[in-house]
Structure 1
Amino acid sequence: MAERVWFITGVSSGFGRKLAEEVAKLGDKVIGTVRQVRQLEEFNAISPGNTFAYLMDVTNAEGVKATTEAACKLMGRIDVLVNNAGFGYVGAVEEAPVAAYRDNMETNFFGALQVTQRLLPYMREQGGGHIIQMSSIAGFRSSPGFSVYNASKFALEGMSEALAMEVAPFNIKVTIVEPGPFRTNFGGSSIKHATVEMEAYAGTAGAFKRRMSAQNGEQEGDPLKAARVIIDVVNADNPPLRLPLGQYAIDAVRAKLEQVAQDLRAWEAKAGPTSFTD
């Protein structure tokens, strides 16, 4: 298989780092973005000649423009884009300020959107590519206490579904990856919490927060195995639009689909006949 060029945001740790390492082992080139200067040399040293670090904040439009242009000029093409940069936020709807929603959306949704928009022209011109949107099972099913993060990932998935249909004629594929709990920094340094905790939500949002804290570092998911599955998806002739990762995520998708099906069965007779009769 011909050497490919990957552009992965957020490679300092977690899924982004593990995926970049595995891709470089295969001999592919990896453009990886980081947020701190000290991380540049560290990433470049993973596989000299294969890993290339750039300082970039996905929320900075000018920085995204400059970095994507520089990367495409250096490599001549981008075959795989992985929008991985993001962070979580825990707090009930009533506990989380509107600013928290805006902040999370800026990174998780708008950041991924503008990186995608900048690289799409190159993929169209070269006649193909693959966009991997790192979502979460939280982008398919909500949880109490996770509404801020849910909102950002639901938005990402909605945009990406439309994108997949728009770019299919250009041989550009889109896959939305939906991991469940994996042993990354997500439950630690990559998550923020509402500063206000209301007793009224102790049994819902509060319980969710405690559960996430308790399982941090003990999650069942192995990021290395996840990275290898993502590589398999990129290699596939017919990759899926959605890829739940881990048994927890697969079970959650099935439960959500069954819940929706139950509501349809219960209300179809009333909700269906709402058209004009004349």
Structure 2
Amino acid sequence: MEKTVVLITGCSSGIGLSLAVRLASDPAKTYKVYATMRNLAKKERLLDCVKGLHKDTLDILQMDVTDQRSVLDARQRVGEKRVDILVCNAGVGLMGPLEAQSLDTMRQILEVNLLGTISTIQAFLPGMKTQGHGRILVTGSLGGLQGLPFNEVYCASKFAVEGVCESLAILLQHFNIHVSLIECGPVNTNFLDNLQAAEPGSSGEQVDARTQSLYEMYLQHCGTVFQNAAQDTDDIVKIYLEAIQSASPAFRYYTNSALLPITSPKTAASDGLQYIKTMSKIIFSTNNKVEQK
């Protein structure tokens, strides 16, 4: 039986690695997985995870989503000359006071999370249209559905991805191509380790003491959330499998029912202030109130 061809970006660790392992290790050999990563020096972890279970079901390709030539080269190396399921998972984070972030760093976040996703879809979309079917799964984030302090640029990139996917979904239903966003909350990966944190003064601007104190409170809040609600990548992979195997996939899948986006305060009043006040109360609670200077 002909295998379903899946290409996944960002497979050196985390969700991408776990999903590639799960699909490539499928006992029925349903899938042929092309696991891509920017740095092939990191492929050993993936190979160790699949061990001898990946004969004829896994190829690892070098692909940098910020380099169009690299994306096109990876497409050319797909032996079947088609991709049935495209998983846009590559992403990076950025956290810290906005005034401490350099323009180059902000560009990098947008180039990976937004332009990298668009460039990858651009490369494989014509083939899906020609073959008359396809699925595009994109790793989304609660930070793409609601603003989070000290994550302004990351949220901007993920908000934009939401707009890209929603716009495409309207069009691509006419081509039998399904677009799905897998909306993740905190995940037990090395995402936090790889997270870029802006250092005070790195952009040439100094961060005032009150902002720095609020940032420290936010970091404490993040630590608590990760400790209490972070999911393992296996839990996330189950949601991906649901989207992959569904006869009629949804547009949005939420991976964590305990951390759904706070949507009602955003629409409860036309001035939009209820959400701002609600999130401020959740994150900067009175128990940890920073004294006014």
Normalising by structure 1, report the TM-score. Answer: 0.86
Partner of residue 116, structure 1: 121
Percent identical: 28
Deviation per CA, 1:164-195, whole angstroms, max 9, x where unpaired?
1111100000011110011111111x210001
Give the aligned residue type for 1:16.
G
In 1, distance between residues paired with 2:271 and 2:106?
A: 34
Give the aligned residue type for 1:54.
L
- Secondary structure of the 1:75 match is coil
- Secondary structure of the 1:10 match is coil
Matches within 5 A, 1:194-273: 194-196=198-200, 198-212=208-222, 220-250=230-260, 253=261, 255=262, 257-264=263-270
Contact kept, 8 Å, 1:35 with 1:57, in 2: the verdict is yes
- Secondary structure of the 1:187 match is helix
Q: 1:169 to 1:90 in 2, by over 3 A?
A: same
Give the aligned residue type for 1:65.
L
Matches within 5 A, 1:55-204: 55-71=62-78, 74-188=79-193, 190-196=194-200, 198-204=208-214
In 2, distance between residues paired with 1:123 and 1:43?
A: 27
In 2, distance between residues paired with 1:117 and 1:249?
A: 32
- Secondary structure of the 2:135 match is strand
In 1, distance between residues paired with 2:2 and 2:269?
A: 48
Q: Are residue 18 (structure 1) and residue 18 (structure 2) matched?
A: yes
In 2, distance between residues paired with 1:216 and 1:133?
A: 22
- Secondary structure of the 1:177 match is strand
Matches within 5 A, 1:26-65: 26=26, 27=29, 28-40=31-43, 43=46, 46=50, 47-65=54-72
Partner of residue 287, structure 2: none
* Aligned length in residues: 260
Contact kept, 8 Å, 2:65 with 2:117, in 1: the verdict is yes
Give the aligned residue type for 1:110.
L
In 2, distance between residues paired with 1:239 and 1:35?
A: 29
Contact kept, 8 Å, 1:144 with 1:204, in 2: the verdict is no
In 2, distance between residues paired with 1:206 and 1:95?
A: 14
In 2, distance between residues paired with 1:84 and 1:4?
A: 18
Give the aligned residue type for 2:23.
V
Which runs of 5 or more structure 2 residues have no equivalent in the other structure?
201-206, 274-293
Contact kept, 8 Å, 1:176 with 1:241, in 2: the verdict is yes
Q: CA RMSD, aligned part only?
A: 2.3
Give the aligned residue type for 1:105.
L
Q: 1:158 to 1:235 in 2, by over 3 A?
A: same
In 2, distance between residues paired with 1:195 and 1:203?
A: 14
Contact kept, 8 Å, 2:182 with 2:239, in 1: the verdict is no
Deviation per CA, 1:195-246, whole angstroms, max 9, x where unpaired?
1154221343332234435666775312102101211112112222111211
Deviation per CA, 1:103-141, whole angstroms, max 9, x where unpaired?
100000101110100000111111111101111111111
- Secondary structure of the 1:32 match is strand
TM-superposed deviation, 1:148: 1.5
Normalising by structure 2, report the TM-score. Answer: 0.82
In 2, distance between residues paired with 1:102 and 1:239?
A: 33
Partner of residue 274, structure 1: none
- 179-188 or 200-209, which moves further after superposition? 200-209
Q: 1:43 to 1:266 in 2, by over 3 A?
A: closer
In 1, distance between residues paired with 2:81 and 2:68?
A: 22
In 1, distance between residues paired with 2:141 and 2:209?
A: 28
